[in-house]
Amino acid sequence: MTHETPGRKRLPFLIRPTFSSKEVIRMEKIVHFLSRALHEIAQVILFAMMMLVVLDVLGRWLFNSPIKGTVDLTGLLLTVTIFFGIAYTHWKKEHIAIDFIVDKFPKRVQWAFECVINLIILVFMTMVSVSLYQNAQRLLQSNTLSPDINVPIYIFVLLAIAGTVVFGLTALYYVVHYAIKVVKNA
């Protein structure tokens, strides 16, 4: 069953995306909001880490009394900052890309490449999220704490999962976005 218009062949109905523009726009708004929110939180965490390190250095220098657990907390918060920032970086397409070969192809082929690449990212982020969740469960069951300040580490792993899930959702949005572009221009 195909839909044909004069002078243009259409793809079979069953393989064309069935998303309405309202659904895609709604998905775009949700994913953008989530990725931007995590990005904003990452900025606050980064500022807090900076202040913690500055106060630790000043305390060590002025009073010969550093803040206990600065190294622990900075390492854990840096992990959260990285995972919270990757989705928005992907949303803005600011990742490093070597695309001098792909740029030579027609737009439709470039969109197909983007669709496949984002599908791979989605699958990979799903696997990473599941693996992190299993690791968080092990850390919770073993009651693993940070060495200096005795904070449960599983909490930070769960926060990292939030970053990988939103990164995966961003990739899913781009899969849909580019698949629609490829099919509409078929």
* Cα angle 163, 130, 158; round to 5: 45
What's the pLDDT tens digit per position in 2-53? Answer: 454 455 555 444 444 456 788 889 999 999 999 999 999 999 999 999 999 9
Ranking 24-28, 99-103, 130-134, 164-168 by mean pLDDT, the lowest is 99-103
**pLDDT of res. 186:** 65
Element housing 22 (H / E):
helix 21-63
Task: Please say whether the beta carbons of 86 and 36 come within 8 A.
Answer: no
Tokens of 176: 């849909």
**pLDDT of res. 6:** 52
Name the residue ranges covered by the structural domains of the chain: 20-184
* CA distances (Å), origin 88, targets 116, 150, 160: 20, 31, 14
Residue 33: closest CA among 180, 135, 170: 170
**pLDDT of res. 7:** 53
What's the pLDDT tens digit per position in 71-126? Answer: 999 999 999 999 999 999 999 999 888 888 888 999 999 999 999 999 999 999 99
Fill in the amino acid letter for 103.
D
**pLDDT of res. 22:** 87
Q: Model pTM?
A: 0.85
